[in-house]
Structure 1
């Protein structure tokens, strides 16, 4: 291995580890595993053995889902088997999530976030014996090349050993060796190039071995949401390659081309709320499963402006953001797109309207003093008030209230009926915002 390649792999390993992409989250091994076996004796049982790309994380559909939907949709009788059925929760950093984008499929598998050929949870024989698969779909290797710093030749030999160990448990088991989609990592293309010849060498009439073309056509940050893990379009591409390989074994049919167009990003929208303030609006939201950030959109509806996208995403765990510098009393509208890494959902959240405004004036304390045919109203100053509206009306009198606007904190109300009961109210205001009204009753002499 050259010094340049060693430095590159080391740098990438540090980046991935810091991002939690290839972190060693290995649980304690349990031997032998409890396996969910095939329930249909006529079905072809398939055991998927892989790493985080095969397991998936919260909010994912997973390529296992895409494969199962294709196989069953084409009339194949298949049963996925394995000791697990979960996803990895990246935010909580734990296993056991069932937050699939669509959980209605056969979720059994033997994949685990961070697993490698060199560090399998269970020897393949300990899986084949209780799970009794007809086909093992192997999807390991990226963690060996990047995290373990293994050479492509070493990983090829690991794949060879896996086939031999699976056959030791069941001499008739078929095996699919999957190419790695992350061809932008050093060593991946070299490893992928050897797999077809390795499969041809190992295949026999009793135990067939085929290579899945799952290492071509993947675009980083399009078919992945980070440097390693698949977006929805990547899931489809990988499932198609595995389906083609299974078709060569007589299981199902090849995946139809052209591949279906599927949207990337979280399948569910964020839920948005807003609270207006003085020249600002504070947004708060709830993320859907798997989402790790949001993209904020806003527009000034009063001014007729178009939607504007914030130039950066707001990452989890932050779930609030405040828009500032807004024009008071204009109606603004806000919406969000949830995102998982570079995969931004095409589905928007609910659109929330909000009008920033000056804070409402504070309350006043009102007193009335009686005089001859008059009442004198006095009140305390209201914080943030620029004016006051004073209104009065005699109890039982017809017609509306009398009103007067003033910036003073004193008003003499003349020409009142002696002995009559009058209701006097003072309402503080500023620009377009009113404060709480103070009310008193008084009788002029």
Structure 2
């Protein structure tokens, strides 16, 4: 069975009442992938804004494998120390990763964040030397429109990110750089300039689906 672990920040964990892109991708693969698969990971909850904590199970549709390794306000810095144990415990064979915005916004610059990417990849491979990963670049949010220095850090990180993944890529443990959906618009695909609404969830799921289909023939073209 294909065991897929979604890894990410607030855009991946989602909040109370949301479907999440994880759900959208699960629906897509259920309709287009021939073999058995499931979503795995040490967490299942959504972020609850009223509690300011990841304590909610109130998905818009809770009837799917909700497991993940994602956290509101967590980035490469936070999840690199956790990913090895998560991959090992849940026998993850494929990671779908969307991280970096929180790091660049609050914790580390582009170069420091790149080093945490390296640590993350090393930790995941130490748990499963055959692990595959599809990784999404940072999608600039509304802050990047007003803060030129932040926008520059996002652009620099995405450039370093692509180079780092190409350097670390191996046939045994491939690292695939997904494409940011060219039509993604933070004004229409998010509800607050950062977090995806329904259309944004579909676009992110579509980016991962395209990489899976084009690289390994998993699933089919995404229809959101």
Question: Do they superpose with TM above 0.5?
Answer: yes
**Residues 255 and 188 (structure 1), Cα distance of their counterparts in 2 relative to 1, 3 Å cut:** farther
- Secondary structure (helix, strand or coil) at the match of 1:136 reads strand
Is the CA contact (8 Å cut-off) linking 1:152 and 1:188 kept in structure 2?
yes
- SS of 2:39's partner is strand
Q: Give the structure 2 partner of residue 165 of structure 1.
A: 123
For structure 2, list consecutive stretches of 5 or more residues without a partner in the other structure.
Answer: 145-150
Distance across 1 between alignment mates of 2:217 and 2:95:
12
- Structure 2 residue 137 is the aligned partner of structure 1 residue 179: yes
Q: State the SS of the aligned residue for 2:205.
A: helix
What is the aligned partner in structure 1 of residue 147 from structure 2? none
Q: Pick from 196, 204, 211: which aligns with 2:177?
A: 211
Structure 2 residue 32 is matched with structure 1 residue 74:
yes
Corresponding residue for 1:59? 17
The answer to whether residue 12 in structure 2 is matched with residue 46 in structure 1 is no
2: distance between equivalents of 1:147 and 1:132? Answer: 31
CA RMSD of aligned residues (A): 1.9
Kept in 2: contact 1:183–1:189 (CA 8 A): no
Q: Helix, strand or coil: the match of 1:147?
A: helix
Question: What is the alpha-carbon distance in structure 1 between the residues aligned to residue 184 and residue 112 of structure 2?
Answer: 24
Contact 1:44 1:251 (8 Å CA) reproduced: no
Structure with higher Rg: it is: 1
Q: Report deviation, 1:220.
A: 1.8
- Tell me how far 1:251 sits from its aligned partner: 5.6
- Asked if the contact 1:129–1:170 (Cα under 8 Å) also holds between the matched residues in 2, the reply is yes
Distance in 1 between the 2:217 and 2:29 partners?
8
Where does residue 88 of structure 2 map in the other structure?
129
Which structure has the higher relative contact order (CA within 8 Å, separation 6+)? 2
Deviates more, 1:191-200 or 1:160-169: 191-200
Please say if residues 81 and 120 of structure 2, whose CA atoms lie closer than 8 Å, have aligned partners that are also in contact: no
Q: 1:55 to 1:68 in 2, by over 3 A?
A: same
**Partners of 1:245 and 1:197 in 2: how far apart?**
18
C-alpha separation in 2, matches of 1:191 and 1:170: 26
Q: Is the 8 A contact 1:181 1:215 kept in 2?
A: no
Counterparts of 1:357-436 in structure 2 under 5 Å? none
CA displacement at 1:118 relative to structure 2: 1.4
Q: TM-score, normalised by structure 2?
A: 0.88
- Quick check: 1:83–1:108 contact (8 Å CA) kept in 2? yes
Provide the aligned length of Structure 1 versus Structure 2. 215
Structure 2 residue 113 is matched with structure 1 residue 155: yes
CA distance in 2 between counterparts of 1:251 and 1:106 reads 22
State the distance in 1 between where 2:190 and 2:105 align: 17
CA distance in 2, matches of 1:235, 1:251: 22
**TM-score, scaled to structure 1:** 0.46
> CA 1:175 to 1:137, structure 2 compared with 1: closer, same or farther past 3 Å?
same
Counterpart Cα distance in 1 of 2:63 and 2:217: 21
The runs of at least 4 consecutive aligned structure 1 residues that moved more than 4 Å come to: none
Q: Which runs of 5+ in 1 are unaligned?
A: 1-42, 261-445
Residue aligning to 1:199: 165
1:92 aligns with 2:58: no
- Structure with more of its chain in strand, by fraction: 1
**Post-superposition offset of 1:245:** 1.9
User: Are residues 75 and 175 of structure 1, via their aligned partners in 2, closer, same or farther at CA, if it must alter by over 3 Å?
Assistant: closer
